[in-house]
Amino acid sequence: MDAFLDAIPAWLLFILIVGGSVGLAWAGTVLLRRRTTAPTDEKHNEVAGFIFATVGVIYAVLLAFTVIIVLEQHLAAESAVSQEAAALITVAHDTSSFPEPARGQVHDQLRAYAQFVINDEWRTIDEGTLEREESRGALAAINTMWSIYRSLPPGQVDPHTTDSLDNLSAQRAIRLQSNVAALPEVLWFGLLFGGVVTICFCLVLHMKNVQLHAALTALLTGLIATSLWMIVLINHPFAGDLHVSTDAFRHAIYVIDSLPR
């Protein structure tokens, strides 16, 4: 639902979402107060305030729960990238005891794998997809390393070394699985609907000072809009201004290049 927002810079998105919402809330409050008369029922604010407090608590819980879900998803994606890059380094260290030319060939494939991820896969991941063509190079590097392993005498390949290569494939799968939005569309609907209802209850309350009423409504709207803005920024781990970086893979290439050949 929010994938198209990832192409918008964070600062501009803040102006559109938060600034636009605050402006509408302020103008809506002033316009509504000008077109309506003060309630004659003395208990109007008491009843409306009680319902507003209940709705506000429910929405606050939903909003906090959503932020936690999205943040955990984003942190999990960062962890998956770090673990996959660490697996590359582990394979490089484990194969340092291989005879030449096998050792150099494995290190070349590890370097090629990392470069394929950075230059090819990351571009499509940033767009929220991963085409088979972009992942073919990384998969070919893994298959080539397995072929090198099988070409060596059994005594030269330690079981721990094959486990490391298995772990690389496993960490790759975890990283690819994390390339999804944390929030389904139905939850987005709940967030937007709940926010509108909460703000509408704020409009129903009556204050003698119209400008103060408009300011308080705008502040509440700004708080809700800011929370939604933060959710949009981190909902897609590999897209947008706060996307997971490729620094871990670049560091892996640096470590592999520093190993003796």
Burial class (CB in 10 A: 0-12, 13-18, 19+), 187: middle
The 8-class DSSP code of residue 124 comes to: H
Backbone angles phi, psi at 64, to 5 degrees: -65, -40
**Token reading at 142:** 């893994």
Q: Rg (Cα) of the chain, in Å, rounded? A: 27
pTM for this predicted structure: 0.80
Q: How far, in Å, CA of 128 to CA of 124, rounded?
A: 6
pLDDT, block means (10 residues), the chain with 261 residues = 73 92 92 75 72 89 91 91 94 87 91 90 65 71 91 81 90 84 82 92 83 91 94 85 90 89 66
pLDDT at position 134: 57
List the domain boundaries for the chain.
3-32+56-258
**Contacts with 44 (C-beta within 8 Å, 6 or more apart), sequence order:** 206
